[in-house]
C-alpha cells in the first residue's frame, strides 16, 4: 500500500513580494530609530546616575571629620569624576 501526499507550493506575485519587502524595510527603519533613541536615553540616565552619586558623596564628605572614611569617600569621588570626563 502506497500513500501519496500532495504538497502545493504557495506562489507569490512580484507585487506581493515587493509589498512584503517594502514593509520589512519600513519596520527595520523604525526599529533602528527606536534603538538609537534607547541608546541616547541609557547614556543620559547613566550620566545622571553618576552625577547623583557624585553629589551624594560630596554631601557626605562635607559633614565628616578628617579620617579614613573621609579619605575613602574622597577617592570614590575622584573615581566618579574621572568617569564623567
pLDDT digits (tens, 9 = 90+) for 28-76: 877 878 888 888 999 999 889 888 888 888 887 777 777 887 788 888 8
| pTM score, whole prediction | 0.48
3-state SS track over the chain = CCCCCCCCCCCCCHHHHHHHHHHHHHHHHHHHHHHHHHHHHHHHHHHHHHHHHHHHHHHHHHHCCCCHHHHHHHHHHHHHHHHHC
pLDDT digits (tens, 9 = 90+) for 7-17: 555 567 888 88
Determine the pLDDT at residue 10: 58
List the grid coordinates of 64: 565628616
Domain ranges, ordered by start, for the chain: 14-84
pLDDT at 6 over 80: no
Nearest to 64 by CA among 77, 79, 83: 77
Amino acid at each position: 500500500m502506497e500513500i501519496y501526499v500532495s504538497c502545493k507550493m504557495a506562489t507569490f506575485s512580484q507585487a506581493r513580494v515587493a509589498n512584503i519587502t517594502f514593509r520589512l524595510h519600513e519596520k527595520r527603519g523604525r526599529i533602528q530609530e527606536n534603538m538609537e533613541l534607547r541608546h541616547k536615553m541609557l547614556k543620559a540616565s547613566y550620566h545622571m546616575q553618576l552625577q547623583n552619586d557624585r553629589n551624594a558623596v560630596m554631601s557626605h564628605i562635607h559633614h565628616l571629620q578628617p579620617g579614613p572614611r573621609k579619605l575613602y569617600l574622597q577617592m570614590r569621588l575622584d573615581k566618579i569624576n574621572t568617569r564623567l570626563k
